[in-house]
């Protein structure tokens, strides 16, 4: 296991603070240039659209960890209510609680349904904003950690990144296929930088500055089979932060619950989630979690093409430290 001194040496090496200016809140998304966006669009040849989002609903992966719950979806108006109000609604109800609604419904054929959702922003397919993880009182680019308040993140919130889309060239690294696994990468087998290089070489794909790397570990497929949100699996070894830095990758996403390997035995002594600390706080590199990559992996295996146009804008929730996303790959 690595020591905190090892960690600090890597942190000093990968830190991007000041690289794009002292007030920068985009981090490595700055690497997505206009040329990169055009290059990504030029990868589209078949016109195939592949959704990469999971379901947002009560059968999601949350609940295993008590501080997060699955989305709660509630109907606020539905057709049944409308008929009930028109036919049976007592006057006091029409006048009070549902006065506006019953007025819409009375004496005309128009009907509508409305709904709402209550959910942790990290509940399902999502981006971690740069303000999601910090240490030693500093966020990315040295912004003070206390700038994240009960009013939300005044620095590095998810709303700050909308100017970037987020869209770029995506590259899938299919570790499941490379390992010859049936479903998913087994727990206790972290994915190393060398393995990522090997997968890319075997797939015949290169990774360039500004790309978004998408790693297929099979965890989401396994979760859909078992329904167990706490199912252990493999993720990126923490040293992959340096690999992402050296290649000038814009962001990384995976189909598991935290991108990085969850086993503390493979991490850094005295810390939790060291890759989160390095990526979000030191590099300014966003992490995408709980992406559904099975369909994309199947398509890439079939045509042998592992690059695509990725379109993955987070919901612009003001001051949020993460947000749902419904990413799509276009090939």
Pick the closest to residue 37 from 280, 310, 248, 251 (CA basis).
310
Q: How far is the CB of 189 from ligand UVW (least distance, A)?
A: 19
Q: Does 133 bind ligand UVW (CB under 6 A)?
A: yes
Pick the closest to residue 195 from 243, 253, 256, 255 (CA basis).
243
Q: How far is the CB of 322 from ligand UVW (least distance, A)?
A: 7
Match 């990559």 to its residue by tokens.
Answer: 293
- Ordered alpha helix ranges (H), the chain: 4-14, 34-42, 79-88, 91-95, 99-105, 175-179, 193-203, 219-226, 240-246, 274-276, 294-303
Query: Which residue's CB is nearer to ligand UVW, number 210 or number 235?
Result: 235
How far apart (Å, rounded) are the C-alpha atoms in residues 41 and 45?
9
Site for ligand UVW in 12-71 (CB under 6 A): none
Whether omega before 85 lies within 30 degrees of 0, making that bond cis, reads: no
Applying CB under 6 A, the span of 21-29, 125-133, 139-147, 194-202 interacting with ligand UVW comes to 125-133
Query: Which residue's CB is nearer to ligand UVW, number 239 or number 256?
Result: 256
Q: How far is the CB of 134 from ligand UVW (least distance, A)?
A: 11
Q: Does 122 bind ligand UVW (CB under 6 A)?
A: yes
Q: How far is the CB of 125 from ligand UVW (least distance, A)?
A: 11
Number of residues that bind ligand UVW (CB under 6 A): 9
Pick the closest to residue 220 from 183, 187, 261, 260 (CA basis).
183
- Comparing every residue's Cβ against ligand UVW, the nearest one is 258
Site for ligand UVW in 72-91 (CB under 6 A): none
Pick the closest to residue 242 from 3, 9, 1, 2 (CA basis).
9
Considering only 14, 251, 258, 312, the residue that binds ligand UVW (CB under 6 A) is 258
Query: Which residue's CB is nearer to ligand UVW, number 89 or number 322?
Result: 322
CB atoms within 10 A of CB 277: 23
Applying CB under 6 A, the span of 56-64, 128-136, 149-157, 220-228 interacting with ligand UVW comes to 128-136
| φ and ψ at residue 76, rounded to 5 degrees | -105, -25
Site for ligand UVW in 207-236 (CB under 6 A): none
Q: Does 289 bind ligand UVW (CB under 6 A)?
A: yes
Q: How far is the CB of 122 from ligand UVW (least distance, A)?
A: 5
Pick the closest to residue 101 from 73, 74, 80 (CA basis).
80
Query: Which residue's CB is nearer to ligand UVW, number 36 or number 276?
Result: 276
Applying CB under 6 A, the span of 55-63, 126-134, 140-148, 211-219 interacting with ligand UVW comes to 126-134
Q: Does 273 bind ligand UVW (CB under 6 A)?
A: yes
Residues 252, 288 contacting (CB under 8 angstroms): yes
Q: How far is the CB of 151 from ligand UVW (least distance, A)?
A: 21
Rg (CA), the chain: 22
Residues 124, 55 contacting (CB under 8 angstroms): yes
Pick the closest to residue 70 from 125, 126, 120 (CA basis).
120
* Residue-by-residue DSSP string for 89-100: --HHHHHTTTHH
Query: Which residue's CB is nearer to ligand UVW, number 177 or number 279?
Result: 279
Query: Which residue's CB is nearer to ligand UVW, number 132 or number 216?
Result: 132
Catalog residues that contact ligand UVW under the rule CB under 6 A.
122, 128, 132-133, 257-258, 273, 276, 289
């Amino acid at each position: 296991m690595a020591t905190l001194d090892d960690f600090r040496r890597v942190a000093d090496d990968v830190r991007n603070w000041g690289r794009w200016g002292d007030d920068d809140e985009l981090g490595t998304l700055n690497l997505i240039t206009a040329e990169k966006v055009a290059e990504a669009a030029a990868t589209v040849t078949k016109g195939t659209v592949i959704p990469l989002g999971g379901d947002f609903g009560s059968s999601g992966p949350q609940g295993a960890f008590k501080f997060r719950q699955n989305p709660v979806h509630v109907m606020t108006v539905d057709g049944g209510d409308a008929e009930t109000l028109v036919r049976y609604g007592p006057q006091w109800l029409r006048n009070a609680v549902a006065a506006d609604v019953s007025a819409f419904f009375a004496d005309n054929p128009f009907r509508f349904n409305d709904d709402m959702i209550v959910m942790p922003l990290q509940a399902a397919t999502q981006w971690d904003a740069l303000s999601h993880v910090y240490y030693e009182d500093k966020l990315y680019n040295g912004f003070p950690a206390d700038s994240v308040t009960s009013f939300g993140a005044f620095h590095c919130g998810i709303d700050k990144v909308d100017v970037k889309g987020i869209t770029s060239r995506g590259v899938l690294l299919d570790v499941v296929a490379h390992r010859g696994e049936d479903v998913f990468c087994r727990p206790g087998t972290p994915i190393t930088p060398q393995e990522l290089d090997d997968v890319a070489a075997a797939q015949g794909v290169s990774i360039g500055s500004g790309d978004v790397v998408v790693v297929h570990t099979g965890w989401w497929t396994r979760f859909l089979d078992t329904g167990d949100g706490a199912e252990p699996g493999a993720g990126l070894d923490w040293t992959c932060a340096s690999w992402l830095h050296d290649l000038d990758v814009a962001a990384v996403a995976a189909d598991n619950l935290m991108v990085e390997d969850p086993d503390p035995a493979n991490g850094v002594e005295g810390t939790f989630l060291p890759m989160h600390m390095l990526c979000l706080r030191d590099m300014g590199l966003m992490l995408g979690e709980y992406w559904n990559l099975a369909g994309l992996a199947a398509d890439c295996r079939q045509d042998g093409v592992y690059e695509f146009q990725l379109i993955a804008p987070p919901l612009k929730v003001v001051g949020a430290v993460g947000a749902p996303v419904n990413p799509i790959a276009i090939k």
